[in-house]
A and B are shown apart, each in its own frame.
Chain A
Amino acid sequence: AQKVTQAQTEISVVEKEDVTLDCVYETRDTTYYLFWYKQPPSGELVFLIRRNSFDEQNEISGRYSWNFQKSTSSFNFTITASQVVDSAVYFCALSEAGYSGYSTLTFGKGTMLLVSP
């Protein structure tokens, strides 16, 4: 069975601080995919990144960066120089290889990030 754990329920930071959101996953599959989504107060989940289990390179996109470590089953997300607009709930998700043709995502419970001015 798959499981995603986001131990941090809520994080509060002041603007311009760096913040790291933790994600730990469990799966028996050797091929799997990891995702991060952002859910602002408007409600829509916004896709941020997909990473497959064979690609352990870290990725940077602007102020966002992701650290994937198979050895610790973690896929952490760092926001550098946080801004008020980063305030949202962030979800980590896991999917097995979509041999059936579609993906079934297992989501963590989410981490609420509050960035104050």
Chain B
Amino acid sequence: ETGVTQTPRHLVMGMTNKKSLKCEQHLGHNAMYWYKQSAKKPLELMFVYNFKEQTENNSVPSRFSPECPNSSHLFLHLHTLQPEDSALYLCASSVSSGYSYEQYFGPGTRLTVT
């Protein structure tokens, strides 16, 4: 596989379910990101991991729990979600250096909370 992959591509879950989104990057990057994209809203940065350490949490509700076991893998654990959490969740990765490099995105997971 190449680039950034995400599984599953589509997920329907009830408000009481627990599920996880997975992201894997094959680019040798050390920074990984979770974004949320809702209809008619700008992309919202949720979390940033740099060399496996969480460096940013943009006031994300605790029902979203990220995990980064190594620089290639990123998870987003979901529990007791709300219907307004339905969105496209995008994972991205980038080189980690003193410059600002472009982020490469995965195809996203389309989440529907019922």
The complex places the Cα of A45 from the Cα of B104 at a distance, in Å, of 8
Q: A12 in the interface, Cβ–Cβ < 8 Å?
A: no
A101 touches B102 (CB 8 A): no
Which A residues are closer than 8 A to B by beta carbons?
Answer: 32-33, 35, 37, 42-47, 50, 52, 91, 95-105, 107-110
Closest chain A residue, CB of each to CB of B6 = A44
Is B50 in contact with A102, judged by CB distance below 8 angstroms? Answer: yes
Name the interface residues of B52-89: CB closer than 8 Å to any CB of A: 55-56, 88
Q: In the complex, what distance in Å separates the CA atom of A99 from the CA atom of B98?
A: 5
A43–B110 CB distance below 8 A: yes
- In the bound complex, CA of A29 to CA of B84 (Å): 35
How far, in whole Å, are A47 and B90 apart by their CA atoms in the complex?
A: 14
- Taking CB atoms, residues of chain B closer than 8 Å to A44 are 105-108
- Interface size range on B against A: 20 to 34
The reply on B113 being an interface residue by CB < 8 A is no
Smallest beta-carbon distance B83→chain A, Å: 20
Q: Could you tell me if A104 and B101 are in contact, using CB atoms closer than 8 angstroms?
A: no
Contact of A98 among B41, B51, B100 (CB under 8 A): B100
* Residues of A close to B17: CB separation below 8 A: none
Interface contact B94-A102, CB-CB below 8 Å? yes
In the complex, the chain A residue whose C-beta lies closest to that of B32 is A102
- Chain A neighbourhood of B45, CB < 8 A: 104-105
Q: Does B97 contact A (CB under 8 A)?
A: yes
A102 touching B42 in the complex, CB below 8 Å, given contacts A43-B107, A97-B100: no
Q: Please determine whether A101 and B50 come into contact, CB atoms closer than 8 angstroms.
A: yes
Q: Decide: B102 and A50 in contact? CB cutoff 8 A.
A: yes
| B16 contacts A by Cβ under 8 Å | no
